[in-house]
């Protein structure tokens, strides 16, 4: 399902990245880490399908519904929010700075992306997408679905070299 979406919307990748790179900085969402709702699909920017498990340096604790880890192929990646999981659960090899995560809710329930220390708390309705800009400094940045955290719906963005 994720691969067909990538194929179908592959041409949008350049536009999304070009728009982010060419922003004038007047929009607060691009000037600092933020989150926004969107109905525009974005491609998966990872090097392969989720196959490995999340590494020990993911910063994830407690119940983890692990749907694999993939290495990033840029600063924009797509993550699926299914019912009680994120897939991939971990995205590795990210460069420090602002990264963009496009979260598509493929489940039947309302989901969420929350990163408390970055004041990110975004809901994503079934069938919808959100775009979240996240600051990555040097350590792993775990995120959760506040509605399904206890079911193991967690994920992590992990910088290269950690």
> Which residue is it, tokens 């691009």?
30
Q: Digits of tens for pLDDT over the chain (162 positions)? A: 444 443 333 333 333 333 333 333 333 333 334 443 333 333 333 334 455 899 999 999 999 999 999 999 999 999 999 999 999 999 999 999 999 999 999 999 999 999 999 999 999 999 999 999 999 998 999 999 999 999 999 999 999 987
Domains in the chain (CATH in brackets) are 2-159 (2.60.40.420)
Beta bridge partners, 159, equal 94
Count the Cβ atoms, other than its own, within 10 Å of residue 162. Answer: 15
Tokens of 18: 């070009």
């Amino acid at each position: 399902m994720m691969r067909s979406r990538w194929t179908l919307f592959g041409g949008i990748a350049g536009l999304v990245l070009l728009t982010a790179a060419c922003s004038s900085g007047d929009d607060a969402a691009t000037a600092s880490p933020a989150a926004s709702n969107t109905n525009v699909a974005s491609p998966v920017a990872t090097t392969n399908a989720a196959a490995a498990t999340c590494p020990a340096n993911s910063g994830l604790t407690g119940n983890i519904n692990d749907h694999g880890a993939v290495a990033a192929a840029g600063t924009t990646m797509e993550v699926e929010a299914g019912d009680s999981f994120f897939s991939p659960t971990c995205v590795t090899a990210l460069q420090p700075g602002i990264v963009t995560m496009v979260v598509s809710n493929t489940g039947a329930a309302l989901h969420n992306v929350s990163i408390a220390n970055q004041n990110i708390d975004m809901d994503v309705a079934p069938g919808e997408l959100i775009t979240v800009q996240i600051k990555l400094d040097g350590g792993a940045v775990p995120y959760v679905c506040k509605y399904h955290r206890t079911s193991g719906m967690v994920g992590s963005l992990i910088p290269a070299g950690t």
